[in-house]
């Protein structure tokens, strides 16, 4: 069983296929198994790698809460690349993993070929941020009190019922896997990563600094993430945005074929050299009048 040593924990990872590496990073409610459809698909043409965050099944679960947090999540991703001897990779993340993918592109650009951030931005809106943090802390306390993760309830949340309605078999697999997560480590992740990380709206400078091609994906029923993804699209000339219709948060499970096609088309364009940043003439604030004046000047 491959384990990557990383700052107080050993991180479990799996891989399949050959070629340029693609690193898949899971969300809070998922784990490395959430990427099964993507591992099968992308393992046919690339070297697909996925891993379990510290505290998740397969990886070590440190008892010290000080060994959890977004910085450790970032470091663990790099540790997996190091252990797999992958100098650079396409990074694909969902939700908590999407946030991490953006952080890798900003903080470790030398390791990132491209960045796909799906469903990133939960807890970012300033108007509801205090409520988000409070709910994370209350849920963490409830996990610890009950000694178990209420996977059934989480699976019926406002941005997850879409999966239940579309694909009850995939939903059941998701819920069953989530029920296997340890309550105390899930609580630590809620407090230190979900509630402890900065809002994406507070990371404007970091996001603007990203040079790698970025693909933003979000379901049109993923209300907590819609506005921040549109904001990021406008903020980063290197970013493209795709909206998945009738979809919630776990879009790689809800619409695996569409998700895979969008990500594959993006990665292929990057590798072929046919991906380009946004034309300056199409940036926010550009008008026909201003462009004509600039041309004359």
Task: Determine the Cα–Cα distance for residues 229 and 136; give it in Å rounded to an integer.
Answer: 21
* Residue 93, CA atoms < 13 Å, CB-side half-sphere: 29
Tell which phi-psi region holds residue 171, choosing left (phi > 0), alpha (psi between -120 and 50) or beta: alpha
Above 80 in pLDDT, residue 290?
Answer: no
Structure token digits, residue 144: 């610890």
- Across 44-63, average pLDDT: 98
pLDDT (0 to 100) of residue 287: 67
pLDDT (0 to 100) of residue 289: 62
pLDDT (0 to 100) of residue 1: 73
Please state whether beta strands 9-16 and 112-118 pair in parallel, antiparallel, or not at all (unpaired): unpaired
Above 60 in pLDDT, residue 293?
Answer: no
Query: Domains (ranges, CATH) in the chain?
Result: 3-124+200-296 (3.40.50.1820)
The strand pairing partners of 21, in sequence order, are: 47
Q: What is the pLDDT of residues 16-42, one digit of tens each?
A: 999 999 999 999 999 999 999 999 999
Q: What is the pLDDT of residues 68-77, one digit of tens each?
A: 999 999 999 9
- Across 131-146, average pLDDT: 97
Q: If you count them, how many residues does the chain have?
A: 297
Average pLDDT, the chain: 96
pLDDT (0 to 100) of residue 64: 97
Closest C-alpha among 30, 95, 246, 250 to residue 160 = 250
* Contact assessment for residue 285 and residue 34, using Cβ atoms and an 8 Å cutoff: no
pLDDT (0 to 100) of residue 139: 97
Q: What is the pLDDT of residues 251-289, one digit of tens each?
A: 999 999 999 999 999 999 999 999 999 999 888 877 656
Task: Determine the Cα–Cα distance for residues 113 and 92; give it in Å rounded to an integer.
Answer: 11
Task: Determine the Cα–Cα distance for residues 141 and 145; give it in Å rounded to an integer.
Answer: 6
Q: Is residue 4 very low, low, confident or very high in pLDDT (cuts 50, 70, 90)?
A: very high
What angle, rounded to 10 degrees, do the helices at 70-83 and 96-107 form?
A: 70
Q: What is the pLDDT of residues 226-252, one digit of tens each?
A: 999 999 999 999 999 999 999 999 999
pLDDT (0 to 100) of residue 284: 84
pTM (2 d.p.): 0.95
- Across 201-213, average pLDDT: 97
Above 60 in pLDDT, residue 297?
Answer: no
Above 60 in pLDDT, residue 155?
Answer: yes
pLDDT (0 to 100) of residue 294: 53
Above 80 in pLDDT, residue 138?
Answer: yes
Q: Is residue 205 very low, low, confident or very high in pLDDT (cuts 50, 70, 90)?
A: very high
């Amino acid at each position: 069983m491959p384990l990557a040593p990383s700052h107080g924990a050993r991180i479990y990872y799996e891989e399949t296929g050959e070629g340029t590496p693609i690193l898949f990073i899971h969300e809070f409610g998922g784990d490395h198994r959430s990427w099964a459809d993507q591992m099968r698909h992308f393992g046919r043409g690339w070297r697909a790698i996925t891993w379990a965050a510290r505290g998740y099944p397969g990886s070590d679960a440190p008892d010290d809460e000080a060994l959890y947090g977004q910085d450790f999540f970032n470091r663990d991703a790099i540790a997996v690349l190091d252990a797999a001897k992958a100098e650079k990779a396409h990074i694909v993340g969902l939700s908590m993993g999407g946030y991490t993918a953006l952080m890798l592109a900003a903080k470790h650009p030398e390791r990132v070929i491209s960045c796909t951030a799906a469903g990133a931005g939960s807890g970012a809106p300033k108007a509801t941020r205090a409520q988000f943090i409070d709910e994370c802390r209350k849920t963490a306390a409830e996990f610890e009190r009950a000694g178990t993760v209420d996977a059934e309830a989480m699976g019926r949340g406002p941005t997850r019922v879409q999966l239940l309605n579309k694909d009850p078999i995939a939903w059941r697999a998701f819920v069953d896997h989530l029920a296997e997560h340890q309550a105390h480590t899930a609580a630590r992740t809620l407090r230190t990563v979900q509630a402890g990380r900065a809002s994406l709206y507070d990371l404007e400078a970091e996001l603007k600094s990203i040079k790698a091609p970025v693909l933003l994906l979000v379901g049109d029923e993923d209300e907590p993430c819609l506005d921040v993804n549109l904001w990021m699209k406008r903020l980063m000339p290197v970013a493209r945005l795709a909206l998945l219709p009738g979809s919630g948060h776990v879009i790689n499970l809800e619409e695996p074929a569409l998700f895979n096609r969008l990500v594959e088309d993006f990665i292929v364009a990057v590798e072929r050299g046919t991906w380009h940043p946004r034309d300056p003439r199409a940036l926010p604030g550009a008008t026909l009048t201003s462009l004509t004046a600039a041309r004359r000047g």
